[in-house]
Amino acid sequence: MSINIYEENRILTASPLELVRILHNAAVRSVEDAREHLRAGDIAARSRAINKTQMIVMELAASLDRTQAVELSDRLLALYDYILTRLVEANSRQQDAPLAEVSRLMGTLQEGWSECAITEEAQPVLAGR
């Protein structure tokens, strides 16, 4: 997987919140890629896309700081574990339904993290009032 210089610089200079958003965006894209490859009957490409999604979700789970917001961290960890289980099912059974569910869940998380970013960006503006 290659990334261009712009993407590399974006990642290297990103805040922790932005890194989480980047990972969620990548997970949503890769699960949608898996769905497309499943429809096309490209087993190898589907498996690669699912594996990529699994690696991203595992990274998101590993990045949780379980000493902060313990209840939220525990719930996210359980959700990431459920997502990983559904990805395994999708890969082994070659079914779209688990991928569709993962896509919806990751999309919801993506929206939530985007809202967090908007709130974080508004903090300096609100503090100045």
Q: What pTM does this model have? A: 0.83
Q: How far apart are CA 10 and CA 66, in angstroms?
A: 26
Q: Are residues 6 and 62 in contact, defined by beta-carbon separation less than 8 angstroms?
A: no
Half-sphere exposure of 52 (CA within 13 A, CB side): 20
Q: Which of 14-18, 79-83, 111-115 has the highest mean pLDDT?
A: 79-83
Give the amino acid at 122.
A
Whole-number pLDDT of residue 114: 81
Residue 24: pLDDT over 50:
yes
Q: Are residues 80 and 27 in contact, defined by beta-carbon separation less than 8 angstroms?
A: no
Tell me if the domain spanning 5-127 has CATH number 1.20.120.340. Answer: yes
Whole-number pLDDT of residue 78: 96
Whole-number pLDDT of residue 38: 97
Percent above pLDDT 90 for the chain: 59
Which pLDDT tens digit goes with each residue over 61-83? 998 888 888 898 899 999 999 99
Whole-number pLDDT of residue 52: 97
Map residue 3 onto helix, strand or coil. coil
For residue 43, which phi and psi values (nearest 5 degrees)?
-65, -45
The pair of three-digit structure tokens given for residue 82, joined into one six-digit string: 């459920």
Q: Are residues 105 and 79 in contact, defined by beta-carbon separation less than 8 angstroms?
A: yes
